[in-house]
Structure 1
Amino acid sequence: MSVATETTARTPAARVIEMAGRGHRSIPVLVTLAIIWAVFYSQSSAYLSFRNITNLTLQIATTAILALGVVFVLLVGEIDLSSAVLSGVCAAVAAGLAVNSGLPLPLAIAVAIAAGMAITLIEALVITFGVPSLIVTLGGMVILQGLILVVLPPEFTVSVAGTSFAKIASTAIPAGTSYLLAAVGTLAFAAYGTFQYRERLSTGTRTSPVSVVVPAVLVAAVLFGGVFILTRQRGLPMPVLIVAVMLLIAWYFTTQTRYGIHLYAVGGDREAAQRAGIPVRRMVLYSFLILGACAAVAGMIDASRQLGVSVTSGGGPLMLNAIAAAVVGGTSLFGGRGSIWSAILGALVIGSISNGVQLLGLTTEVQYFATGAVLIIAVAVDVVLTRGSLLPTRGRRS
């Protein structure tokens, strides 16, 4: 078949797939989330109540932060299976230092984050020498399962109830302060948008003030709407603020800096990035270091919510949920495509299913079936968008 024939033979479906691959991949995620909410709300009006939405945001905080770290690793074309257990190890380190050793909480948190980054640095160094990340992190997961037994005291548990450690998750920011933070965030975003708008004008690029006003209005609606909903109980939960700050920092570095350009270049085509002078090995190391920090923060928030650390910390479906959140949210398993917003969107999808199942008193099997189905569909969509066709790739005939 000639090139001309191939071009003319492109179906409307192929053109739609191509546009979706280049466009906003978060739209299908938002549609899926709306469907999930509608289904559960039809079964129980309490599902979208202020109280339950607040509970949902608290439940997904750990998954969202861990998924944020996973996104950075996926963007460079790697994968990590050990970060969930690592979060438990870091939580055990922080709780042991703050509760058992009497170390000031900020210092204990810093040590735990440093420990998480050190462990992922070791894994990344092995990976950069050519060992597949799947094998390295699978082995790392097993090692960390033994390490948490070493870090924990002989009774294999550390209780943080009644300590300053427990306040990480239980602290609520008053409504007035929360609205002030929303206003500051909106103004900062609008100011940065205005700065970019003036830079485009100075370079002769044709642009419209609408490109500044519309995003600022949307950000204001999200921030003030979120604060309104989440402060209806005691106030804005501290874990929600931590997630928001981490997402904003990650958004800035992945979209507004040279680091972000290099990150996507390495994931898109590692050999081409190497030829262009991009430090590929260093970018892989950076991604795993970020994952280590995110795992430590996620583990400490989870330990604060659970009021303790044990041998089961970081276990269960946490690793699966974090990877699923990143992929369901729109980050490609093949590297180079996705955004940090995938973490929160995917965590909302996974968490909404779990929350709805628990609220309706359904069996755990339903949650696993639904989560697994959503993950498979998300990966299938990613494969279709990657190859640009609904049909499997076949050898072309001349």
Structure 2
Amino acid sequence: MSATKTTRVGTERALTPIDLHDERLIRTTGPRGALAAFAARVRGGDLGSLPVIVGLVLIAVIFQNLNGFFLSSANLVSLATECAAVGTISLGLVLVLLLGQIDLSVGSMSGLASAILGIGLTQLGWSVWAAMGCALAAGLATGLLYGVIFIRFSVPSFVITLGGLLTLLGLQLNLLGTNGSVNIPFSSWIVSFSQQTFVSRPVSYALAALIAAAYLASQLARNRRRRQHSLSTAPPTAAFVKTGLLLIALEAGCWYLNRDRGVSAPFVLFVALVATLHFTLTRTRWGRSVFAVGGSVEAARRVGIRVNRIYLSAFALCSVLATLGGLLAAGRLATASTSSGVGDTNLNAIAAAVIGGTSLFGGRGSAYSALLGIVVIQSIASGLTLLNLSSAIRFVITGVVLLIAVIVDSLARRSRAAHGRA
């Protein structure tokens, strides 16, 4: 191990010789140095979101050539709307994956949530808010139970949540009874929100500008913190240039979607959840502790992090987000049935987190992994649907993409380890 390597607890990576070389590049050559540093990081195994972005471009080019409707505003509006439910479930999985754990019951939890919503509205006479509140409470209790079992008995999360998958599925079937399905009234708020609510054009443009402004503030704050710790920073103009490019991309995207129905409210909610979790993971003590525990549990304990609380909160949030995803899916379909949450829900939620860049080995990833990953999966599904190909082919392609993502992650870890020993 190089003597120049230092360790920090939090979201900052350990500094290796290649990192120190990157610092000198940025300090001495400005923007060109930043590009050279990026190339050096890629060579060192820090690929970030690059493979996902390249994959999305390839998917768009291939399916657009095969069917010109793929990149139409109408199809992209539907694609974005479809991302919300499973993407929200995947967002919770990002948390447990960052800790090096897994939750196999998120699909069943979402299915049980839809059953609680449907039965509460149609048979028990609850208001939509009472039914949703009950479902969210059930999700919170389930996640806390997983955390307690994991902490007290050291049972692998794989086994705990596999048992949870079967238990929750049984509860879902019992609630729905012999009919097996319940139609959720179209007049209910959740159905209206999930199916028919789109933000107005002025609001969509304003949200895009707000996101760009938040990004600029984040970059400037990051540079200020780095200067306070005597670390080099990119030129101030770099933050404004990147913000300008982001603003153009977001406004252009809103304009294109507004040519059809516009930006759906469920997708806006999903993006807001992603941004909130990203801020929490990167700007709060709890978030830094999540990365620290995922990187090394023993090291996290030695610096005073309450590891058990981190595990407990992560499992609880994962189940709550799975519940919310199930409610959005139920509203989207206006029904709760025995097929809700089963099938490919687990596969797509886990695959989205991993394909988006969250490591199965813990300690690396971000909230944006769920967003990028679910866009990849839904793009594949949408493209194959337009080509009238069977779901069997979609399963095969999604499985191959997932395998490639895991291989890339494994190779990146090996490359980082090799550079760390250099």
Q: Which TM-score bucket, shorter chain as reference?
A: 0.7 to 0.9
State the shift of 1:98 in Å.
3.4
User: Could you give the per-residue CA deviations for residues 118-162 of structure 1, whole angstroms, max 9, x where no partner exists?
Assistant: 111111211123101111111110111101023335523221142
In structure 1, the partner of 2:193 is 168
> Do the aligned partners of 1:61 and 1:298 also contact (CA within 8 Å) in 2?
yes
Letter of the structure 2 residue corresponding to residue 121 of structure 1? L
In structure 1, the partner of 2:172 is 148
> Do the aligned partners of 1:79 and 1:133 also contact (CA within 8 Å) in 2?
yes
* Residues 134 and 230 of structure 1, relative CA distance in 2, 3 Å threshold: same
> Do the aligned partners of 1:84 and 1:315 also contact (CA within 8 Å) in 2?
yes
Aligned partners of 1:20, 1:200: CA distance in 2, in Å? 24
Letter of the structure 2 residue corresponding to residue 144 of structure 1? L
Unaligned runs of 5+ in 1: 1-6, 8-15, 392-398
- Secondary structure at the aligned position of 1:173 is classed as coil
**168-177 vs 76-85, which moves further:** 168-177
Aligned ranges 1:198-347 → 2 under 5 Å: 198=224, 207=233, 208-347=235-374
- Secondary structure at the aligned position of 2:60 is classed as helix
Would you say 1:183 and 2:206 are equivalent positions?
Answer: no
Aligned ranges 1:34-45 → 2 under 5 Å: 34-45=57-68
Aligned partners of 1:169, 1:368: CA distance in 2, in Å? 26
* Residues 123 and 193 of structure 1, relative CA distance in 2, 3 Å threshold: same
Aligned partners of 2:390, 2:111: CA distance in 1, in Å? 27
Letter of the structure 2 residue corresponding to residue 337 of structure 1? R
> Do the aligned partners of 2:44 and 2:416 also contact (CA within 8 Å) in 1?
no
> Do the aligned partners of 2:59 and 2:379 also contact (CA within 8 Å) in 1?
yes
User: Could you give the per-residue CA deviations for residues 98-125 of structure 1, whole angstroms, max 9, x where no partner exists?
Assistant: 3433333233322221211111111121
User: Could you give the per-residue CA deviations for residues 228-284 of structure 1, whole angstroms, max 9, x where no partner exists?
Assistant: 232222232111111111011011001111112111110111111111111111111
TM-score, with structure 1 as normaliser: 0.88
Aligned ranges 1:362-373 → 2 under 5 Å: 362-373=389-400
TM-score, with structure 2 as normaliser: 0.83
> Do the aligned partners of 2:144 and 2:312 also contact (CA within 8 Å) in 1?
yes
Query: Which of 49, 52, 64 is the matching residue for 1:29?
Result: 52
> Do the aligned partners of 2:113 and 2:135 also contact (CA within 8 Å) in 1?
yes
Moved over 6 A (4+): none
Q: What percentage of residue pairs aligned between the two structures are identical? A: 37
**184-193 vs 41-50, which moves further:** 184-193
* Residues 87 and 379 of structure 1, relative CA distance in 2, 3 Å threshold: same
When the two chains are superposed, the root-mean-square deviation of aligned CA atoms in Å is 2.4
Letter of the structure 2 residue corresponding to residue 32 of structure 1? G
Aligned partners of 1:17, 1:205: CA distance in 2, in Å? 18
State the shift of 1:18 in Å.
7.2
Letter of the structure 2 residue corresponding to residue 162 of structure 1? F
In structure 1, the partner of 2:81 is 58
In structure 2, the partner of 1:109 is 132
Aligned partners of 1:369, 1:344: CA distance in 2, in Å? 21
* Residues 283 and 20 of structure 1, relative CA distance in 2, 3 Å threshold: farther
> Do the aligned partners of 1:324 and 1:375 also contact (CA within 8 Å) in 2?
yes
In structure 2, the partner of 1:11 is none
Q: How many residue pairs end up in the alignment?
A: 377
In structure 1, the partner of 2:30 is none
